Amino acid sequence: MTLIETRKKYRTVGLTVFIIAVALLVMRIVSYYVQVATIDSTMDEVWLMLLYDVIFSVPVQLGVLLLFPFLMYKFSLKKSFSGVLEFSGCRKCSPWICLLAVPLGGFFVVISMGVSTVWQVILMMFGYTPSSGGAMPDTFNALYFIASVILTAVLPGICEEFTNRGGMLTVFRTAFSKRKAILLVAIAFGLFHQNITQVVYTAVFGAVLAYVTIETGSVFPAMIMHFMNNFMSVLIDNATTYNWVIGGGLYDFLNNASLGVLVSIFTLCLLVVFGLLVAIVYIARKKRKADVYGELAAESALCGFKPTVRDNMFFIGAIVVTAVATVLTFSFRV
């Protein structure tokens, strides 16, 4: 891999990420005005909200986060279909690692809830007013549940990972150390949600996803973890709303539990998550035929690539756009 090739890949991904950042903001604004235009609609509020999610999520996930970067990498970098997948981390992975990724993603939802709660308390200290949350049908509706899983877990699990732990992580690893690459991808993942309440716990989750991707050499475990984390969130919302949990709902239990109980639950889940991570890394290193991301870094070092301000221009632009959009959501919900 030559210096010119490395620089071209880095700048191409930077341009792709910048366009995605702007497109996400535009889609949020469009979604907001669609909601304003249909505020007097006679459609049931629950299904109207689901329609808004479809209008926003489907084009964003499939179009902006999946198809667009795929086409950019294919035509700008002149890669084949399989070449784009390889560049985006879509490589074979041990079935045992994929299996362990299921409970890892499921248990991480508790970590996300804990971090999110602490962050919301901090925001409220500065005057933030949390939203009441989305409406749900009065009785359980299988169609609504399936649609929620697809929009909240399936599409983000595939499409967001393709962009964030795909080409972005690949070029960051060619330019930076493992720790710095993980940190940058985590920050980008948090800011790309463009939501002040989500930025911290998604950044934490993004760091874990990036670490697992680098260690396993594949984005598939991260996709599974992402799906399971979001699926469990949907499942918990339904279990709470329709009293699937004995005793009146999980959130009621957590709201009434003592600080000691909450800390104990969080600590237990943290230990489980840590144990699963150790197991995944152990299996990955034992079965590893080649350190894919390590080789990328070595090749980059050999050709002398060090990103300049010009190389980072689009990445900086993407961070500025998403950071400003995130801060604005403190008082203006889009």
| Residues 253-268, mean pLDDT to the nearest whole number | 77
Pairwise CA distance, residues 145 & 274, whole Å: 30
CA atoms within 13 A on the CB side of 300: 22
Higher pLDDT, 317 or 55: 317
Helices 220-241 and 199-216 pack at an angle, to 10 degrees, of 140
* pLDDT over 70 percentage in the chain: 92
Q: Binning pLDDT at 50, 70 and 90, where does residue 302 land?
A: confident
At 158 the pLDDT is 97
Per-residue pLDDT at 245 exceeds 70: no
**Burial of 40 (C-beta count, 10 Å sphere; 0-12/13-18/19+):** exposed
Poorest-pLDDT segment among 61-65, 232-236, 299-303, 317-321: 299-303
Query: What tokens were used for 316?
Result: 């900086």
- Cα separation, 315 vs 311, whole angstroms: 8
* Residue 145 tokens, joined: 């549940």
Q: Which residues of 129-146 are buried (b: 16+ CB within 10 A; e: fewer)?
A: eeeeeeebbeeebeeebe
Q: How confident is the model at residue 332 (pLDDT cuts 50, 70, 90)?
A: confident
Q: State residue 52's pLDDT score.
A: 79
Check the CA dihedral 178-180-183-189 and report its sign.
negative
Question: How far is Cα 195 from Cα 28, in angstroms, rounded to an integer?
Answer: 11
Lowest mean pLDDT among 166-175, 258-267, 299-308: 258-267
Name the helix (H) or strand (E) containing 53.
helix 45-58
Domain that holds residue 253: 3-328
pLDDT surpasses 80 at 174: yes
d(CA 130, CA 121): 10
Per the domain annotation, does 313 fall within a domain? yes
Looking at the domain assignment, is residue 161 inside a domain? Answer: yes
C-alpha distances in Å from residue 228, one per residue of 100, 128, 149: 11, 29, 10
> What total of structural domains would you count in the chain?
1
115 is a domain residue: yes
84 within some domain: yes
Query: Do 254 and 67 touch, CB atoms closer than 8 A?
Result: no
- Compute how many other C-beta atoms are within 10 angstroms of the C-beta atom of residue 295: 14
What mean pLDDT do residues 72-83 have? 95
Look at residue 333 and tell me if it is in a domain: no
256 CB neighbour count, 10 Å cutoff: 10
d(CA 201, CA 327): 16
- pTM for the model stands at 0.93
Q: Which two tokens stand for residue 284?
A: 């990955």
Q: Are 151 and 57 a contacting pair, CB within 8 Å?
A: yes
Number of DSSP helices (H) and strands (E) in the chain, helices first: 15, 0
Residue 334 inside a domain? The answer is no
- Give me the residue label for tokens 């409970």: 103
Q: What is the rounded distance in angstroms from the CA atom of residue 225 to the CA atom of residue 100? A: 9
* Domain assignment present for 196: yes
Q: Average pLDDT, whole number, for the chain?
A: 89
277, 182 Cβ separation under 8 angstroms = no
d(CA 89, CA 72): 16
**Which pLDDT belongs to residue 326?**
95
Q: Look at residue 204 and tell me whether its pLDDT is greater than 70.
A: yes
Interatomic CA distance for residues 25 and 41, integer angstroms: 25
Within-domain flag for 138: yes
pLDDT digits 0-9 by tens, 118-171: 999 999 999 888 776 667 888 888 988 999 999 999 999 999 999 999 999 999
Task: Give the whole-angstrom CA distance, residue 29 versus residue 52.
Answer: 12
